[in-house]
Amino acid sequence: MPPKKYSNSKLASFKKSIQSKLKDVEHDLGEIKDTLDHNTRGTASLSQDSVYSVHMADAGTDSYEREKGYHFMNRETDYYKHLTKALERIEDGTFGVCRICGNLIPEERMMEVPNATKCVQCKENEKLNI
């Protein structure tokens, strides 16, 4: 029996969708970076070395916001890497095939979560440690 895989037209559709998501992620990363750059420069005068008194709560809020921005940047960077790997799987013919059971992952799941490598059942079993 031939290995299960999506047709070339479906793969082209997935590829187009993934490339669109990559552009969105690149845009989001740019905005996050700009925000971090702006916040870092904007608070430079409010650093501990400043001559003026800074309220500790304000300094804590600024620090929290920067940390949150770095967290979002890391999350988006990871998602970008996963989408890039999904494009590689399209090229090597393994896109949409469950790594556990070898069955085709439903198209709806692949459109919503293009970086999925497991079908829903295998993913649930993995979480339940079956």
Q: 27-73, pLDDT tens digit by residue?
A: 999 999 988 887 665 544 444 544 445 778 877 888 888 899 899 99
Asked whether the beta carbons of 110 and 10 are under 8 A apart, the reply is no
Q: Give the model confidence (pLDDT) of 72-130 as tens digits.
A: 999 999 999 999 999 999 999 899 999 999 999 999 999 999 999 999 999 999 888 85
What is the pLDDT at residue 45? 46
CA 65 – CA 49 distance, rounded (Å): 20
> For 14-24, what is the mean pLDDT?
95
CA 72 – CA 112 distance, rounded (Å): 20
What is the pLDDT at residue 77? 96
Give domain limits for the chain: 8-43+52-128
CA 7 – CA 73 distance, rounded (Å): 35
Query: Which one-letter DSSP state was computed for residue 52?
Result: S
Q: Which residues sit opposite 97 in a β-bridge?
A: 104
Q: For the domain covering 8-43+52-128, report its CATH number.
A: 1.20.120.910
Helical residues (DSSP H) of 43-99, grouped into ranges: 56-92
What is the pLDDT at residue 46? 47
Give the dihedral of Cα atoms 39, 42, 43, 45; nearest 10 deg: 160
Which tokens in the block code for residue 125?
A: 């079993």
Asked whether the beta carbons of 2 and 97 are under 8 A apart, the reply is no
pLDDT band at 3 (very low <50, low <70, confident <90, very high): low
Fill in the amino acid letter for 48: Q
